[in-house]
Amino acid sequence: MGESQKVKTGWSLWLIAIGAGMWGLDAVFILALQKSFTSTEIVLLEHILLAFFAIPVLIWKRHEVRKLNILDWGAVLFVAWGGSAIASILFNNGLQVGLTANNVNVVLILQKLQPLFAVLLATLVLGERLRRGYWLLFAVAMFGAYLLTFGFQIPQTAAKGALSSGLYAIGAAVLWGGSTVMGKRIVNKVSFPTMTALRFAVALPFLLGIVSFQHPHIGAMAVSLTKLHVLGNLLYQTIVPSLLSLLLYYRGLNGVRASYATLAELAFPATGIFVDWLFLGQTVHLAQWIGFAIVWLAVLRLSQDPNRATTRDGASSPSAA
């Protein structure tokens, strides 16, 4: 692989890490919004606002959308319904329960289980082959994940709410890990703005159905939206952790393999634990700081690995194989 290609894929990996890191900035804002809306309503309102981006892009890029076949649309549905809708709802529920159980950090950090699911799906769906050195790096990153989650202790689930919040988080991790792989399939065929727009637009009718089934109090929602701090919070949540982060993420995903991209996504919980420590008073122990450093060093080492690129059609380059 040429030197210019190494630089390109290195930047792609860091774009994914930066985008994922922005997701870690939203826990404080989500918990504030949950005083006015349910978790499902928050996700729906975000997607309604995101439709102002998605619909014009899909009209502009309609020639790209026509390239998608039936299997591609299945991948889009998985990303939109599973990753953008259901996973977001599960994660928000996990944060809500986790705050009661003083367990918010664990909810965030359990997202590092994503690589376990993404690597398996990348092998099955995309036919990616991993060199032996990847697994050593993977093991190091998982060790950092363990330290961030449990410290030097054996996992405990006896605390009230800890188990349910953990299950919500693991469910979100499964769906987001799968979305990395399915999204990689699509960005091999369309541009990153189109992929981002598809994710938001296809999720919207699904979310409308879920919220309608739950019989929301429309009047109370409307009153909450007239409050400046609530509306400002929702706009931030929509623009920064949702739109801008995913544009960076899908731009980067086009240049690296899904199995490596999912390790770069560890920037999400690593950033989240720092934000929660600053603003939510969540305890951060020495072992968690060590785990934080290990996660970031794993991302740094990964960005320097020349054996992680794929070709534009999704096949591994010779050095990657």
Segment 192-235, tens digit of pLDDT:
899 999 999 999 999 999 999 988 888 899 999 999 999 999 99
To which H or E segment does residue 274 belong? helix 267-279
In whole numbers, what is the pLDDT of the chain averaged over residues?
79
The pLDDT-based confidence of 25 (bands split at 50, 70, 90) is confident
CB 54 within 8 A of CB 176: no
pLDDT of residue 299: 62
Q: In 156-266, which residue ranges form alpha helices assigned H by DSSP?
A: 162-187, 192-213, 218-225, 228-237, 245-253, 258-264
Instruction: Say if residue 44's pLDDT is above 90.
Output: yes
CB 223 within 8 A of CB 43: no
Angle of the 162-187 helix axis to the 87-100 helix axis, nearest 10: 150
Residue type at 198? L
SS3 316: strand
Among residues of the chain, what percentage have pLDDT more than 70?
A: 78
> Which is more confident, 289 or 53?
53
pLDDT of residue 198: 96
Strand partners, 316: 310
Instruction: Say if residue 237's pLDDT is above 80.
Output: yes
Among candidates 234, 218, 239, which has minimal Cα distance to 29?
234
